[in-house]
Structure 1
Amino acid sequence: MRRLLKIGALALLLPVALASAYIAAAYLMVLFPQDARPSAGSPRIEAYVLTNGVHTDLVFPIKSAVIDWEQYFLRKDFIAVPASANYIAIGWGDRDFYLNTPEWKDLTIARALGAISGQHATLLHVTYLDKSDLRQYAYRLALDEKNYRALADYVLASSVIIGQQAVPVAGSHYSRQDAFYEARGRYSMLNTCNSWVGSGLQRAGIKVSRWTPFDTLVTWHLAPYFAPPTPE
């Protein structure tokens, strides 16, 4: 009986120990960030990281001298893009989780475990935004054209593109101004949605933790952006 109790206690403690080790390792990496690479020219591109407290997206101006995102993520793929939209938010994540968890109340243990297993395909979630949508949830990225091109190339390499257009998932939306697109790569507990953003920042020479499974690790070394309050 005593032996069974010990086995039961170990079975309960093991997941807690593994989770604790995972979190500790992730936050330890904050102390050893990738140093920022100096820009060859002055930062000219207003780009951001946007967080909802759990998940991060990369946010870019829709058009710039480097890239026109509308050529890849066509407005016709969306229900109704606001005329005032001047930015585009792009995130990456587990396909099943994205399509079946529009709100946190829809999350199930089975779906969460499925996501971290690394067995599912992935999608890009793309949203057209007005700058006022950023507010206190955004963090600045100082990018020159060379670094921005590296980050844009990283996003495009994660996309499934036929011709020059990304491949949309028909009929899948959270709102009137967002859409989902087929993506490359596998989501897992080692390669999360936030890890994808962190890897992109590394490509762009931004100072960031070397592993970023959580949103706070993506934004740890970034400067917060505080938009002026919206007039009432």
Structure 2
Amino acid sequence: MFKRWLRRIAFTLLGLVALLGLYVATAFALVLWPANAKPSAEAPAEIQAWVLSNGVHTDYVFPIRSATVDWLQVFRLKDFRAPPPDAEFVAIGWGDREFYLNTPTWGDLTASRAFGALSGGNRALMHVSYLQRGQLARGAYALPLTQAQYARLVDYVRAALPQGRATPIAGAHYDNQDAFYEANGGYNLFETCNTWTGRGLRQSGVTVGRWTPFDFTVTWHLRAAAP
């Protein structure tokens, strides 16, 4: 009986390892077979944006104001404690509600929170920060966009807000320059923060992996470049 249970446990563990390997291998394969690999027409970049990665999670980084949108009219300063007055950019990310709110630093990460996020069932939130130029010195990848591409990406981000309106989460902050907002969708193993970032890039015509569960699958085809 004991040996039978050991075999079952061993086969279960082997199955989990095999599934994990398939998950990672699929992500690699699809990043090497990108969407929008050959854009239909070359056009000069008109908007300088970035993808910002901390090695695990990715955010969009946009200029605060442009002809397309004034983000201060979407994510109002009253929702933030004290954003820097010389901020030039807004960073926008999407992710798991419980993970976002309870894991301000990697030191707060627990196995139960990580498993809870990956297993799904939690609603999503949007995390927004107003940033100074110097805060993009590390982990930034250039995202040159035409006006048309940027407009599509802006529409994609705004579509993640319920009814298209930014509803702040009262009292939820990591620091003085960030805020959290309600967001559509839910996080799971196949719909990660990076999946959300990558989908917006694909829809706006940027060369990116066809499925982007990891940060490197988003940034693989971009060029590291701080503003």
Question: Which TM-score band (shorter chain)?
Answer: over 0.9
Deviation readout 1:52-71 (Å, 9 max, x if unpaired): 01000000000000000010
| Deviation, structure 1 residue 219 | 0.2
Tell me, which stretches of 5 or more residues in structure 2 are unaligned?
A: none
Q: Which amino acid aligns with 1:84?
A: D
Deviation readout 1:53-98 (Å, 9 max, x if unpaired): 1000000000000000010100010000101101000000000000
Could you say which residue in structure 1 is the equivalent of 2:24? 23
| Deviation, structure 1 residue 182 | 0.3
Alignment check: 8 A CA contact 2:142 2:226 kept:
no
Query: Is 1:184–2:184 an aligned residue pair?
Result: yes
Q: Which amino acid aligns with 2:51?
A: V
Instruction: Give me the whole-angstrom Cα distance separating, in 2, the residues matched to 1:185 and 1:45.
Output: 28
Moved more, 193-202 or 128-137: 128-137
Tell me, which stretches of 5 or more residues in structure 1 are unaligned?
A: 228-232
Q: Which amino acid aligns with 2:184?
A: R
Could you say which residue in structure 1 is the equivalent of 2:7? 6
Mark the CA change 1:76 to 1:38 in structure 2 (over 3 Å): closer, same or farther.
farther
Instruction: Give me the whole-angstrom Cα distance separating, in 2, the residues matched to 1:131 and 1:175.
Output: 17
Alignment check: 8 A CA contact 1:190 1:213 kept:
yes
Could you say which residue in structure 2 is the equivalent of 1:167? 167
User: Matched residue pairs, number?
Assistant: 225
Could you say which residue in structure 2 is the equivalent of 1:130? 132
Identical aligned residues as a percent: 51
Could you say which residue in structure 1 is the equivalent of 2:80? 78
Could you say which residue in structure 2 is the equivalent of 1:211? 211
Instruction: Kindly report which structure 2 residues correspond to 1:146-165, keeping only aligned pairs within 5 A, or say none.
Output: 146-161=148-163, 165=165
Instruction: Give me the whole-angstrom Cα distance separating, in 2, the residues matched to 1:85 and 1:39.
Output: 34
TM-score (norm 1): 0.93
Coordinate RMSD, CA, aligned: 1.4
Instruction: Give me the whole-angstrom Cα distance separating, in 1, the residues matched to 2:41 and 2:158.
Output: 22
SS of 2:94's equivalent in the other structure is: strand
Instruction: Kindly report which structure 2 residues correspond to 1:9-158, keeping only aligned pairs within 5 A, or say none.
Output: 9-36=10-37, 37-38=39-40, 41-158=43-160
Alignment check: 8 A CA contact 2:162 2:184 kept:
yes
Instruction: Give me the whole-angstrom Cα distance separating, in 1, the residues matched to 2:226 and 2:166.
Output: 32
Alignment check: 8 A CA contact 1:208 1:218 kept:
yes
| Deviation, structure 1 residue 11 | 2.2
